[in-house]
Amino acid sequence: MGADRAKGAAQIQELLAFYPEDPRLHYAAGALLAAERKYEAAMAAMTRSLEIAPHFSQARFQLGLLAIRAGDCARARSALAPLLDLSLDEPLRHLAEGLDHLLAHRLDEAVECLRFGMIVNWSKRGPDREILSLLEDIDLMRRSDREDGEPAGRASKTASSPRRNVH
């Protein structure tokens, strides 16, 4: 689709008119919406992709990541849970574990899993800008925790949800 997102979005919508049950098209639409930070619409597209193809792991991971970005911890956990059962050679398992640790505000464990997931994934896709950006966000959270006097990397009292939205 190149740099012209509007043209790409229009092309995807045209294709969806002909192939409304193609989960890859809903995923692509969601990815474009996410790039524009339209998280609710992106989550709706990813959700539709998963309704069509429940085992579409990449869509499931992206839905979890989007839900975290939107501050919806319950939705993130629900989306990511099936990925935690993937085999150990699957990068998405480690990346989902990293997000699960992030949701519990276990920052050290989150970083470890996210980095390992990127290493496992490296041979398939190369570095993932979204995960690199998330690691930068976690570093900011760690610094903020130290400034607040909370031990960095430890689970907070509200481990059932992150203390801050990750943006």
**Cα–Cα distance, 8 to 15 (Å, whole number):** 11
**Cα–Cα distance, 45 to 138 (Å, whole number):** 27
**Cα–Cα distance, 81 to 124 (Å, whole number):** 23
User: First CA to last CA across the chain, in angstroms?
Assistant: 25
pLDDT of residue 154: 46
pLDDT tens-digit readout, 26-52: 999 999 998 888 999 999 999 999 999
Task: Tell me if 141 sits within 8 A of 148, measured CB to CB.
Answer: no
**Cα–Cα distance, 143 to 136 (Å, whole number):** 11
pLDDT above 70 for 84? yes
pLDDT of residue 166: 41
pLDDT above 90 for 5? no
Q: Which residues contact 158 (CB under 8 A, 6 or more apart)?
A: 105
pLDDT of residue 148: 75
**Cα–Cα distance, 164 to 17 (Å, whole number):** 39
pLDDT tens-digit readout, 86-142: 998 888 999 999 999 999 999 999 999 999 988 887 666 655 778 888 889 898 888
Q: The pTM is what?
A: 0.79
Phi and psi torsions of 161, nearest 5°: -150, 150
